[in-house]
Structures are given as structure tokens and as C-alpha cells.
A and B are shown apart, each in its own frame.
Chain A
Amino acid sequence: MFDIVSLDFAPFLLSFKLAAITTLILFVLSLPLAWYLSQTHSKAKPIIEAVTALPIVLPPSVLGFYILVVLSPNSAVGGFFEDLLGVKLVFSFTGLVVASCFYSLPFMVQPLQSGFESLNKHMLEASYLAGKSKLQTVLKVALPNIKPSLITALIITFAHTVGEFGVVLMVGGSIPGETKVASVAIYEMVEVMEYGTAHIYSAIMVLMSFMVLLAVYIFNHQQKKIGILR
């Protein structure tokens, strides 16, 4: 049988590191985008929304293929980063972060956008009339009033990044400690018929995913209850 103590947890650590960095970057990038989409009446809105939602419906291999093409050293973007900045974007951790940001974008943008859209428009106007800028209004009024959406966006983005497989495999390959995340490690275990380790890895993933989702639902349930009691 297998020995739990000698089990390699590096792929899990890598998955979490990737998810944490991706979530942080996406939060900063998605905040202005989600805010813009929630406030605009522009005709371009459905187009931007459709593009943002693409990663939900596209096969990860399609997304992975395009990201690979764009980030490869032979392309303008990949070449620029490698020649001028010395950063390798394919088969590297940095590349994984870039790919994950595309892959998980809708999971951050959509909850934030629907949260912002649900806010009372007059409350935001009251903040402008108080002399506050849009940024101050977003940080001090809008975000604190959409806590359930905010928590959902952060946790689902994190969880979704931990759970990605296809894009990661295509863009990152399976370099131990660099791009071999948990999902890829499980795939490899199955390939070499190490079912015991695959079982443990998979069980850990199921358990953690369940805990994360449970935490989100309990939090949102409590927020609703507080709302009703108040």
C-alpha cells in the first residue's frame, strides 16, 4: 500500500499559491470592470459581458491553446516578455498565473457586477452628493454593502483556480514545484496507475472543495438572516 507520511504535498501548495495570487490579481483587475459594467448604459456592455463570460463556455483546451499561442516566445507578446524582461511565460509559474487570470475572470466579475447592480442607486448618488469620488464611493459604500457577493467572488475564484486542469496542463505542462498543480498530479498518478495516491489526492480535493462551498453558503445564509432580523 502507500505511505501517507511520505506523500508529496507540493502540488497542493502550488495549487494554493496559484489560486491565492490569481484571486488577488483578479480582484484588483475585476473591481473597475465589474463597477463599469454595473453602471454603464453603453451599447458595448453586452459585448464586454459576452467576452468576459467566454471562459465559462469555452473548452479549457481552446483557451489554453490561444493563451499558449499568445504567450509563446515566438509571438510578439511572449517574445517581448522573454527578450526584454527575461520572463518566460510558457511552462512557467508566471505563465500559469496569466492563464488562470483569464480562466477565472468571469467568476470574479459576475458576482461583483450583480452585487453592484443590486445596490440602491440613490445610496451611491448620496455619496457623490456628499462630495465623494467614485473610488471613495466604491470602497466605502458599495463594497461594504455587497459583502455576500464579495465573499462569493473571492472564494469561488479561489476554488475555481484550484480546480482548473486543462488550461494549466496546456500552458504549464507538469514541471514539479513549478507548474505541477494538484489536478495535474492526480492525472499523472492515474496515468502511471498509482491509484492509491490518486485516491488520497482526489479525496483531499473533494473534502476541501466541499468545505469551501459550505463556508460560502453558511456565510451567505447568515448574512440573509442578519438582514431579516434587522
Chain B
Amino acid sequence: MIDIEIQKELHGSHGDMYLDVKLEIQKGEFIALMGESGSGKTTLLRILAGLERAKGNITVEDMIWLQSQKMLPPQQREIGFVFQDYALFDNMSVEENLLYVNDDKALAQELLVLTELTQLASRNVKGLSGGQKQRVSLCRAMMKKPKLLLMDEPFSALDPAMRTKLKDEILKLHKVFGTTTIMVSHDTEVSYHLADRIWVLDHGNLIADGSPEKILKKTSTVTYTLNL
């Protein structure tokens, strides 16, 4: 179980606001974090990863990641992070990107098979398409078998076909590894299909927390809107 209680002053593009959230996540849950841009979603993710400072407490199973001002560095948190801009190591091949995180060839192989990237294993990542890069980024994030997988708008730069493919692969990996996941996404359709639970942030506050069926309502056969 993961316990989160965070406070942080934010100076964003929409003026100053106060991020103040208190949450509990069950092991293996898949959460979609939604809300308008500038509502503090990415900051919340970065605080969980240890990339930004904040006040509060974060406890993951028996480990304390944050207690008042004391924070565990990102190196020790066992986090998988998928960045919006992929952030792959450009000087390495697909396989090297994975092995840099954890020198486990069998696991790398398994992940590449699951995401149908085996044929690209020895290719330099610079030459890949956006969709391929995002899948490599996803595999890389799974190499530590993380306690918490964080994804910051993994779909935002992809075309609809790539989006469907990545969605299927995220689902597949979640089924195989059962990793507790928080995914920031604007995409209601993706969130509806992937998440067990949806959080909605507004100006740093959690304004909704519940199942996709409760939070999203179907407005046509394919689109969903926030049901608030």
C-alpha cells in the first residue's frame, strides 16, 4: 500500500497555488490522474519520484520515501518513470537503454517480446519513431520491476494508431507484472479503458476520486467527458 500526503507551494503559469493532496493507493492499482494543464499533475508525479521537494509524507509498503523534509533520493525509490518526451539515452541502443537500468538480459528480452520490439533491440534509439520510443521508454521503466510506475502523458505525442498499440501494451505489461501505476493523461478514452481508479486534480486539490464509471460519463459511443 502507498500512503501519500503532500503539500507544496507552486508558482505556475496560472499564478500561485497550493498543492495539497492526501491519498491512498492499493497494491496493483492502476490510477489515471486527470485535470486541466497547470493543475499540478506533473508536479505530483515528480514529487513521488523524488525529483522535486515537498512537505509531507510518502510511505510505500514499509519504506519511507518522504517524512516532513527528509526525502529518499530518486536512486533509492524503485520507481519506473515514463516521460512525456521519452528521455531515452540517445547514445545507446534499445537493448542498452534497458540494460543500463538493470543488467538482466532475460527480463529485457521478455519486455522486448511483450512490446514487439525484439527486432529493434540493437538499433540506436535516435532512429526510432515516436511510438517505438515511447514503448522503449515503457520497457526501460519496467526493468527495475518498480514498486510504482509513473507515466507522464505517455500518449500525448502519438497518433491514434500508435496510441491504441501503446494502450494495449501498457495493459499487457500491467497484467503480467501487476505494477502499481499512476498515469497522467488528458485522454478520457485511454483513462477509461486502462484505469481502475481516476483522480481529478484542480488547482492543486483533488476534486474527484473514484472508478472510471463514476468519474467519466459516456457522451457518445467513443468519447467520454468528466462527470462532475
Please list the residues of chain A having a beta carbon within 8 angstroms of any beta carbon in chain B: 120, 122-123, 125-133, 140-141, 144-145, 227, 230
Contact = CB atoms under 8 A, between A and B. Distances in A.
Contact of B87 (A120, A133, A227): A120
A132 B75 contact: yes
A129 B74 contact: yes
Contact of A123 (B74, B89, B126, B143): B89
B51 A131 contact: no
Contacts of B113: none
A130 B85 contact: no
A125 B81 contact: yes
Interface in B75-101: 75-77, 79-81, 83, 85, 87-91, 100-101
Contacts of A130: 100-102, 140, 143-144
A140 B100 contact: yes
A126 B81 contact: yes
A145 B74 contact: no
Most chain A beta-carbon contacts within 10 A, residue among B77, B91, B102: B91
B75 A128 contact: yes
A133 B76 CA distance: 10
Contact of B90 (A123, A129, A133, A140): A123
Given A125-B49, A129-B74, 18 more contacts: A122-B85, A123-B90, A125-B81, A125-B83, A126-B83, A126-B87, A126-B140, A127-B100, A128-B51, A129-B49, A129-B80, A130-B100, A130-B102, A130-B140, A131-B75, A131-B101, A132-B75, A132-B100
Contacts of B76: 131
22 contacts: A122-B83, A123-B88, A123-B90, A126-B81, A126-B87, A126-B89, A126-B140, A127-B89, A127-B100, A129-B49, A129-B74, A129-B80, A129-B81, A130-B100, A130-B140, A130-B144, A131-B101, A131-B144, A141-B91, A145-B91, A230-B124, A230-B126
Contacts of B124: 230
B74 A128 contact: yes
A144 B92 CA distance: 9
B79 A129 contact: yes
Interface in B39-57: 49, 51
B127 interface: yes
A123 B126 CA distance: 13
Contacts of A125: 49, 51, 74, 81, 83, 87
Most chain A beta-carbon contacts within 10 A, residue among B75, B81, B140: B75
Nearest to B128: A230
Nearest to A128: B74
A120 B85 contact: yes
A129 B75 CA distance: 5
B75 A133 contact: yes
Nearest to B77: A129
B5 to A, nearest CB: 22
Contact of A145 (B75, B80, B90, B102): B90
A82 to B, nearest CB: 45
Contacts of A141: 89, 91
